[in-house]
Chain A
Amino acid sequence: MSGDQTVICRCEEITLKEIKETVERFQCSSREVKLRTRAGMGPCGGRTCRCMIDRLVEQLGGPKISNDVSLSYRPPVRPVSFGILGGEPK
């Protein structure tokens, strides 16, 4: 397996190659990488790959903006069924 085929986002199965190409083509922020590739948008919500995406964007020269907010975590912490969330008795 070549390095480029390394999977960065396991949930959405996004490879290093896809992320590299996106940053190089659009010179974009981590958030834009996420929106364009779906890396970080799966069940773990980027809790596994977020730091890697942030570092990759930094290394590949995405926008160097000191006040740019990096990727955020969103609730729920773990997937939870709509039934439990909606108060359905188990």
Chain B
Amino acid sequence: MTMNTNPFRAAKAGIAALAIAGGFATTLPAAQAEGTVNIYSYRQPFLIQPLLDAFTAKTGTKTEVLFLDKGLEDRIAAEGTNSPADVVLTVDIGRLINVKEKGVSQPVDDAAINSEIPAEFRDPEGEWFGLTTRGRVIYASKDRVAQDTITYEELADPKWKGKICMRSGQHNYNLALFASMIAHHGEQKAEEWMKGLKANLARKPDGGDRNQAQSIFAGECDLGIGNTYYVGLMINNDKEPEQKDWAGAIKVLFPNSEDRGTHVNISGMAMAKHAPNRENALELMRFLGSAEAQAIYAEANYEYPVLPGAKISETVQSFGEIKPDSLSLADIAKYRKAASEMVDRVGLDDGPES
């Protein structure tokens, strides 16, 4: 057992050396460098990269993105005054309001941004700004669903028994939809509705929104709940061409377009409380609200831009006109917790009782 003859020890020494070299090379913080803006993002890097590339090309300011899917606000709060975060990007109104409530954002009052983003899509104190909207719509089977209009309320109608698919009820997108149901109908009626929805499920809530289209394509269900932009992503997915088939099997129904309108949620941004690169952050925020960036959102991500008059992608236009529910975003956020508790109470995520 001498040292030189032991391959493991040699391997280990090698690994250790590599580790020390590699470990620290990758950890040097690029945080406070000049000409950089640091982004903490709940949005996937893939979705925002085209925008950030355009921003860097235009201004020369580099971007650093840290993607988190949980605890972003807690992290900024813990980092305190030393936090490298400049800008927070997120989806879902609940999370935007959470950023404000946890005290990790700062007010921004900028004439350019305020002229770009309509007042209903931003915080009155300027602690957050909406960038895009997306409708929570119904995917319906082209073959098996004859009707071309639908309401959310109708999802509890026993005629759909065993025919509805959805993702987890505890997901942000569904919670916001349920919160809007509570806002419109009150907690009691909303709970009855949710029980009806549960009874109509074809299976346990599962997957992402795209998987609901996949299930309709495969014949597992006739209706699915999903966001508008996923349909665009599926239709134009060249890497996974089978997703085109999924999208081809469904039609997009905008619920309640004949009464209060379709539930919409937003994605948005906020400036971090202790942003070390405040000027760059402001520059980025102005850019994200500009016509140029809004067009990228619409074209590449199939979302609805908040900038009035910005062009919507042709794919999205082909779904038809959306009439957004005029309920205020703050109201939706207010009932989020109640919605989450209701999902537990009803046992929505346990699926239909069979």
Is chain B a partner of chain A in the same complex? no
Binding site for B on A (CB under 8 A): none
Binding site for A on B (CB under 8 A): none
